[in-house]
Amino acid sequence: MTMIRIVISGAFGKMGQLALEHIQKRDDFEVVALVDHKGRAHPFLSTYFTVDEALRKESAHVLVDFTTPEVVYENIIAAIRHGTRPVVGTTGLSMGEVETLQALAAEKKIGGVIAPNFALGAILMMRFSEIAARYYSHAEIIEGHRLTKRDKPSGTAAYTDQLMKTSSPIQTEIHSVRLPGLVAHQAVVFGGEGEILTIRHDALSRESFMPGLLLAIEQVMERDELIYGLEKLLDLSL
């Protein structure tokens, strides 16, 4: 069994902490260091201020990133330059940035995964919406997240919209709700003559993101391109 050596950036954030807990439960994964922009200490793991510094000092197969839209782009570039595969949950990257990163990864022949949503149910919701879009002319996407979420609309809503439009000339609008108490919710409402179809997913806790994250870490070791979207790692054919 090959041990996958992992650095986690944003390690003291909500997703970073949960990712650390779940990764540490796996016998085939090893967290070798953490990255935190405030340099917070961990009882038994080294913490570095930047991804670049961590990957200069530690040899790692995978960088897991749950930080912010402001720093994620530079973090991925640093990972690719060091030959470390990025597995990124941070949202807010533009499609232009994703394409630039894919070109850099291709040049360096390094695999990676950028997944705006690691919840398997959310991936199914997007796929079902993509199929339904072929049969409707109008749909509204209503996404809800906690008050402090920085990007609006969510990466998942923007991506659902993009997927729906690849299979249909459908007209859409995205509505963003930011309220305390929400985790990650999305409804895609299709309107037709005399009917409404609603496809809905609710992430009730951050635990819902962990199976998808662990799957991406496993699978990224077999890939030699930077993949955008967890669905590309799943069999969603009919």
Residues contributing to the site for ligand NAP (CB under 6 A)? 10, 12-16, 37-38, 66-68, 70-71, 89-92, 115-119, 149, 209
DSSP at 2: P
Instruction: Select 63 or 170, whichever has its Cβ closest to ligand NAP.
Output: 63
Instruction: Select 14 or 200, whichever has its Cβ closest to ligand NAP.
Output: 14
Beta strand pairing call for 184-192 and 195-203: antiparallel
Instruction: Select 67 or 84, whichever has its Cβ closest to ligand NAP.
Output: 67
Q: Report the run of H or E that residue 215 belongs to, with start and end.
A: helix 210-220
Is residue 149 among the annotated active site residues? yes
Please, what is the minimum distance in Å from the beta carbon of residue 89 to ligand NAP? 3
Please, what is the minimum distance in Å from the beta carbon of residue 136 to ligand NAP? 27
Listed in sequence order, the residues at least 6 apart from 78 whose beta carbon sits closer than 8 Å to its beta carbon are 50, 51, 52, 55
Which residue among the candidates 61, 82, 145, 185 is catalytic per the annotation? Answer: 145
Phi, psi of 139 (to 5 degrees): -150, 155
Please, what is the minimum distance in Å from the beta carbon of residue 178 to ligand NAP? 12
Is residue 145 among the annotated active site residues? yes
87: left (phi over 0), alpha (psi -120 to 50) or beta: beta
Please, what is the minimum distance in Å from the beta carbon of residue 236 to ligand NAP? 17
Which residue among the candidates 22, 37, 42, 149 is catalytic per the annotation? Answer: 149
- The angle at the Cα of 160, spanning 157 to 163, to the nearest 5 degrees, equals 150
Instruction: Select 60 or 170, whichever has its Cβ closest to ligand NAP.
Output: 60
Number of Cα atoms under 13 Å in the Cβ half of residue 16: 20
Q: Which residue is nearest to ligand NAP (CB)?
A: 13
- H helix runs in 12-140, sequence order: 14-24, 51-57, 72-81, 95-108, 120-132
Q: Supply the residues annotated as catalytic.
A: 145, 149
